[in-house]
């Protein structure tokens, strides 16, 4: 299957509050992949996150159910683990929540960033819910390498046609590319 680049949003300075994809997500492809590369926040240990709008909706507040696993190790290898993260107060994993979904935590140092991908399956289908999953590698502000895996779904049968990325606090720089697979 061929990957077709549909959009490329790049910021060389920390001037992005949000990156929104408000076109190109339609019935052309059944799989859309967002690649995020060298995302670096202004605020230390901020969450890189996303949310969606159903067709005709606004506010980026669709209902999400999700689960998150994190593998991590610090630079000295004295603290490492794999864990399921459950903390509905911070929207790590959501049970019919409408907040932004966390994808990873990133430090704001000059050498700290995150890269990964988010897959959105068949967003134009009006019969089924909309599944997504993400994997991200990040350098946490406390000198930890982290791999975060997020899976879930938007609990709507209405088509999803807008996706927005932002940090939980402050602006960011980096690249986010949108591809259609088909």
Q: Which residue range(s) make up the domain with 17?
A: 3-181
Q: Are 34 and 20 in contact (CB under 8 A)?
A: no
- Please determine, for residue 17, whether its predicted confidence score (pLDDT) is greater than 70: yes
- Our CA dihedral for 105, 146, 3, 50, rounded to 10 degrees, sits at -20
Rounded to two decimals, the pTM is 0.93
pLDDT computed for residue 14 by the predictor: 65
Domains held by the chain: number? 1
Give residue 29's pLDDT.
Answer: 97
User: Looking at the predicted structure, is the pLDDT value of residue 30 above 70?
Assistant: yes
Confidence of residue 92 (pLDDT cuts 50, 70, 90): confident
Residue 26 has pLDDT above 80, yes or no: yes
Whether pLDDT at 12 is above 80: no
Query: Is the torsion defined by CA of 56, 131, 151, 179 positive or negative?
Result: negative
d(CA 136, CA 36): 9
Distance CA 141, CA 159 (A): 37
Least confident of 3-7, 92-96, 161-165: 92-96
What CATH number does residue 29 fall under? 2.60.120
């Amino acid at each position: 299957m061929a990957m077709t680049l549909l959009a490329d949003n790049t910021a060389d300075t920390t001037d992005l509050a949000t990156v929104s994809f408000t076109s190109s997500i339609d019935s052309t492809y059944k799989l859309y992949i967002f690649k995020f590369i060298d995302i670096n926040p202004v605020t230390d240990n901020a969450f890189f996150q996303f949310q969606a709008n159903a067709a005709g909706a606004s506010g980026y507040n669709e209902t999400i159910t999700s689960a998150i696993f994190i593998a991590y190790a610090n630079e000295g290898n004295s603290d490492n683990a794999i864990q399921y993260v459950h903390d509905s107060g911070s929207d790590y994993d959501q049970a019919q929540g409408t907040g932004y979904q966390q994808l990873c935590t990133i430090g704001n140092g000059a050498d700290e960033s995150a890269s990964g991908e988010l897959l959105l399956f068949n967003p134009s289908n009006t019969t089924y819910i909309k599944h997504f999953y993400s994997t991200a590698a990040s350098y946490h502000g406390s000198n930890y390498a982290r791999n975060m895996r997020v899976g879930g779904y938007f609990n709507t049968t209405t088509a999803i046609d807008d996706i927005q990325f932002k940090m939980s606090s402050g602006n960011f720089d980096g690249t986010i590319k949108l591809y259609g697979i088909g």
